[in-house]
Amino acid sequence: MPITRVIPRNSLPSPRTKQKSYALSSNSSIQTEETNGNNEDNEKLYQRQTLDSVKKSNGSSKTFSTTSTPVTPQSQESRRSMPNDKSTTRRRSKPDLQSAMSSSNGFKQQISTINGWANEKSTNQNNQQQGQSNQGKPKCSLPASICQPGYVTPSKLFNMMGYGLQNQYLLMHAHYLYIIDCRSREKFHDSHIVTAIYWEDALNGNVYISVVERFSEIVLYDDTGIFFNATAEMRRVSSRFALPGSKSCISLDGGFEAFRQLFPFVCTQSDIRSAVDREKFLTIYPSVVLDNQLYLGTGHQATNWKVVRDLKLTHIINISVEHQCVFYDKIKYLHIELEDNEDVFLKDRFNETIRFMNMAFQNPSSRILVHCNLGISRSSTLVLAYLMKTYNATLYESYKFLRHRRPIVCPNLGFLRQLIDFEQDLFSCTYTDPNDQLFH
């Protein structure tokens, strides 16, 4: 076998003949780059070109020296004369750039391109969805009842005292609400919430635990009702009645003072607890929808002067054929004589009712009562329409809001369908499902 002599590349003598220069075609693996006067970049590019061409010709992975023959002036002139090199700025066409990349870099670019397309598509979808939502319903602005867990607002307690149907008021039952006054005895005798019991009487066994468990709610209050700062009396009462498996006691937010400021007519010096005393002395009031503004109640309440006077009503919307408007000399009325039937078209009176209410509320001291016969269907439909229009609320949002303040509201199916149509008119879209459990 012949012996092959290996001569190191660095030991080869420099050629004495003039080197030929070649202009690379556009299909070559590397497009020559040139910047005027930048010989260092040219030398690096030439080294990379020579290395790649040797690898392709040998097909092996031998190690080569990075020292190369300097670029001659002729080759520089040849490269300067290339027709695509019109500017001193480096340029690479897209095909040449792709051909210059290694296989691994090409794969990375493909993955990057795919990911970029996917991200762009996802971004476009998100922007489209956001655009659709921005074109949809404005944000609901219904007032929220902000209250800590375990507490009840004065308006909520006031409404709890009035829940029920005509002649079946729950507060008339002796075991509906168990309200315990945790202040001093002097303050209790001076004034307390109607039907309340003094805390020492509750602890001394005048009302036994077995009887307490029959109550719907146990409500405690002191002077100010500061969050998580209960008095010693409230802690004693709570620990007495909050036994395992029994009802938990709730506290009145703001205490007695906050309640008396809003509802002084529900505070008394008398001891009214028995069912007989309740029937004789208690007055059941409409439900508060908006504090010091809007109330929802019955026809009998609208014709009771004590109720009208205590709530300081200035306007009444009477949507009934069962009750007349009896205080024309003192109250501004809107009388809509319609019956509570599913085929009654009430929707065409929505805007008229809303205008009447908006005109009234231009005066901050105005207070409106909306009523039908029982305050369940017709009047609640008008109140819902007002909440939807005024507070940009869907029917679902308005209904949930109103149900929290008066649980017995229930528009008939015909009125419910008209409210859904009204939602479509307001927002150009229907957001409420009439089959939702909330409506049944």
Catalytic residues: 372
- From 318, 259, 294, select the one nearest 405 (Cα to Cα): 294
> DSSP string covering 62-109, please?
----S--PPPPHHHHHHHHT-TT--SSS----HHHHHHHS-HHHHHHH
Residue 39: alpha-carbon gap to chain centroid: 65
Cα–Cα dist 189/183, whole Å: 10
Cα→Cα distances 103→23, 98, 109, Å: 26, 10, 10
Cα–Cα dist 74/220, whole Å: 102
What torsion do the CA atoms of 313, 319, 323, 329 make, to the nearest 10 degrees?
40
Please name the residues in contact with 82: beta carbons below 8 A apart, sequence gap of 6 or more: 23, 32, 34
Q: Hey, what are 160's tokens?
A: 């709890």
Q: Hey, what are 33's tokens?
A: 């780059």
Residue 381 · residue 307 · CB < 8 Å: no
Cα–Cα dist 31/136, whole Å: 55
Please name the residues in contact with 70: beta carbons below 8 A apart, sequence gap of 6 or more: 43
Residue 155 · residue 262 · CB < 8 Å: yes
Q: Hey, what are 368's tokens?
A: 């409106």
Q: Checking DSSP bridges between strand 164-165 and strand 250-252, what pairing results, if any?
A: unpaired
Helices and strands per DSSP (H, E), number in the chain: 17, 14
Beta-carbon neighbour count of residue 385 at 10 Å?
26
For 296, list phi and psi in degrees, rounded to 5: -130, 125
